[in-house]
């Protein structure tokens, strides 16, 4: 990795380090969230630059400075550094360092494809073009929102990966697609490591971290297998999908603790700031989280939490709708090809194409049902959330994608051929995470029963 690439990453990571530690604490997930939080700060700067029609770099500096001042103020007033242990330990003392290292190892293997300079079409025509527009200034990006010449580029997309790339370009080396490819891939890898660490928390402190480490390593590798070349070619689909599943595990599965909920909110913000499918996924997670809170803590807390988690995400689409009439997007408008295709024809073509992307569902169902049976017999769900909410997330997201294909304006055969493998990354990640969670909980429950039996025999 060249010094210029390290500089691009430092532009994101260094300003985000203190804010991340402030809201997450010194947990293993904090290291994995530094790059995504840095990307969120660059997103805020990009929105400010576009709304005001001014340069991007000064806004990036201003946002970073304000975020760090606020973080420092919170640390000074609350004394967080005094109360947070140097190496956070889960539950009764089991360190998550081993699962975190295993997940990082899986990410290193998954990123092997970065050895090739492989920047695909959408990366050039959407994400990196948007970064170039930002680098030219907010007024340039705002003009593109009004121009039909940029309809192919979906300039109405949120700007997280584009602004992260532009941040590096503005500080080191200028425009370089190879550097941009690496930055986007590492943001996705960071989110997958964070996801694996969250899943590892489903194994209680009574068990050795070895099982959690094995599952974390396998989960990250499986996620890369699902994402394929899209994980390293500059595309943003894996970033949006991984962030959405991070949010789902934190908000729908793990205990309702302050730091865990904070990680979930950061995941929602990251997914919803990356692309429109991520925005829909974030909305689904927030609604399911609100449903969980209604049952656990009442309607008032559910409404407040949902507003905090999703409120900031509506700023960009509202601005686009107000300033550019919704912008010009390839998914809207009219087309002669669309007029010749009925909803039933589009549905008939979309369903098998999407179904093919989850062809391992049968094997998943067998293992998941067996694990659920083990847990039911041992009553092992304990303090965790409702695991059926992950299934609800899967069903709702697939339904939203299917509706988009049926109601959209693009010629359906071309659209499916060019996008279905990418937009179905999120549903497949949900299935992988559900499987990993059930395996860990079933293993935990089985070992707990064995320990109880040993104590009974010895007594």
> Which helix (H) or strand (E) segment is 90 a member of?
strand 89-90
Alpha carbon distance 151, 135 (integer Å): 19
Q: What is the pLDDT of residue 85?
A: 39
Task: Tell me the mean pLDDT per 10 residues along the chain, length 459.
Answer: 84 96 91 97 97 96 97 78 45 70 96 88 93 95 92 93 95 86 96 96 73 94 93 94 97 91 96 96 96 87 91 94 64 47 90 85 69 58 62 93 91 91 94 87 63 44
Rg (CA), the chain: 22
156 SS3 class: coil
Q: What is the pLDDT of residue 458?
A: 45
User: Alpha helix locations (H) across 146-275?
Assistant: 160-171, 177-200, 209-227, 237-248, 258-272
Q: How many residues does the chain have?
A: 459
Q: What is the DSSP letter of 273?
A: T
Q: What is the pLDDT of residue 93?
A: 40
């Amino acid at each position: 990795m060249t010094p210029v690439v390290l500089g691009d990453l430092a532009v994101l990571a260094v300003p985000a380090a203190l804010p991340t530690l402030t809201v997450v604490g010194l947990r293993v997930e904090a290291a994995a969230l530094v790059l995504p939080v840095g990307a969120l700060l660059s997103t805020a700067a990009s929105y400010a630059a576009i709304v005001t029609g001014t340069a991007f770099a000064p806004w990036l500096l201003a946002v970073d400075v304000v975020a760090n001042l606020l973080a420092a103020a919170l640390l000074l007033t609350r004394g967080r550094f005094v109360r947070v242990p140097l190496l956070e330990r889960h539950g009764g003392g089991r360190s998550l360092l081993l699962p975190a290292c295993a997940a990082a190892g899986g990410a290193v293997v998954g990123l092997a494809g970065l050895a090739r300079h492989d920047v695909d079409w959408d990366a050039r025509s959407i994400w990196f073009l948007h970064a170039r527009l930002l680098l030219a200034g907010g007024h340039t990006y705002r003009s593109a929102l009004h121009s039909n010449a940029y309809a192919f580029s979906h300039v109405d997309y949120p700007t997280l990966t584009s602004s992260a790339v532009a941040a590096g370009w503005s500080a080191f080396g200028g425009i370089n697609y190879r550097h941009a490819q690496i930055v986007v891939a590492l943001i996705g890898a960071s989110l997958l490591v964070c996801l694996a660490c969250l899943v590892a928390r489903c194994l209680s402190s009574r068990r050795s971290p070895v099982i959690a480490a094995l599952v974390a390593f396998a989960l990250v590798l499986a996620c890369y297998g699902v994402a394929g070349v899209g994980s390293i070619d500059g595309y943003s689909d894996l970033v949006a999908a991984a962030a959405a599943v991070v949010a789902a595990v934190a908000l729908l599965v793990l205990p309702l603790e302050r730091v865990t909920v904070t990680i979930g909110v950061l995941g929602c913000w990251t997914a919803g700031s990356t692309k429109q499918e991520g925005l829909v996924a974030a909305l689904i997670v927030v609604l399911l989280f609100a449903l969980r809170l209604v049952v656990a803590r009442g309607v008032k807390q559910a409404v407040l939490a949902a507003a905090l988690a999703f409120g900031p995400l509506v700023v960009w689409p509202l601005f686009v709708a107000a300033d550019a009439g919704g912008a010009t997007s390839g998914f809207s408008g009219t087309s002669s090809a669309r007029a010749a295709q009925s909803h039933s024809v589009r549905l008939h073509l979309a369903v098998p194409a999407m179904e093919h992307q989850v062809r391992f569902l049968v094997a998943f169902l067998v293992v998941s049902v067996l694990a659920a049976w083990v847990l039911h017999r041992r009553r092992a769900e304990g303090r965790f959330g409702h695991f059926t909410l992950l299934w609800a997330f899967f069903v709702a997201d697939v339904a939203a994608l299917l509706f988009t294909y049926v109601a959209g304006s693009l010629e359906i055969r071309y659209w499916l051929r060019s996008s279905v493998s990418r937009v179905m990354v999120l549903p497949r990640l949900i299935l992988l995470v559900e499987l990993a969670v059930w395996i860990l909980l079933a293993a935990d429950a089985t070992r707990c029963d064995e320990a109880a039996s040993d104590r009974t025999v010895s007594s």
